C-alpha cells in the first residue's frame, strides 16, 4: 500500500507521527506547503519538520497545480489532513 500524506498543519503532523508508528512503510511521500506559499495555516508547521520522518517530502504552493506530481507518486490513497 502506498499513501501520500498531504498536510501543512500541526493536526496533520501529529497524526503522521501516529501513522508512522503504526505502519512505518505505508507512507510513501509527504506533500506540504512551501515556506513562501500564499496559503497560511493558523497552526502551520515549519516545512523542515516533515523531514524528520525519513519520508520524501515535496513542497508545493497550490495542490490544484500538482496533478503531475500526484500521478508520478502513484499512490493507492491520498490522505489530506488540514
Domain spans in the chain, listed from the N-terminal domain onward: 3-64+74-78
CA distance 22 to 65: 31
- Which phi-psi region, left, alpha or beta, contains residue 32 (left: φ > 0; alpha: ψ -120 to 50)? beta
For 30-42, how does the pLDDT look when each residue is reduced to its tens digit (9 = 90+)?
999 887 767 766 6
Identify the pLDDT of residue 64. Answer: 85
Identify the pLDDT of residue 24. Answer: 87
Q: 57 forms bridges with which residues in the sheet?
A: 30
Identify the pLDDT of residue 11. Answer: 93
Overall pTM > 0.85? yes
Which residues in the chain show pLDDT less than 70? 37, 40-42
Amino acid at each position: 500500500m502506498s499513501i501520500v500524506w498531504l498536510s501543512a498543519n500541526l493536526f496533520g503532523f501529529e497524526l503522521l507521527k501516529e501513522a508512522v508508528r503504526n505502519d512505518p512503510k505505508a507512507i510513501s511521500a509527504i506533500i506540504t506547503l512551501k515556506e513562501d506559499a500564499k496559503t497560511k495555516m493558523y497552526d502551520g508547521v515549519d516545512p523542515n519538520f516533515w523531514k524528520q520522518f525519513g519520508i520524501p517530502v515535496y513542497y508545493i504552493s497550490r495542490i490544484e497545480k500538482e496533478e503531475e506530481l500526484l500521478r508520478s507518486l502513484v499512490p493507492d490513497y491520498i490522505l489530506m489532513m488540514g
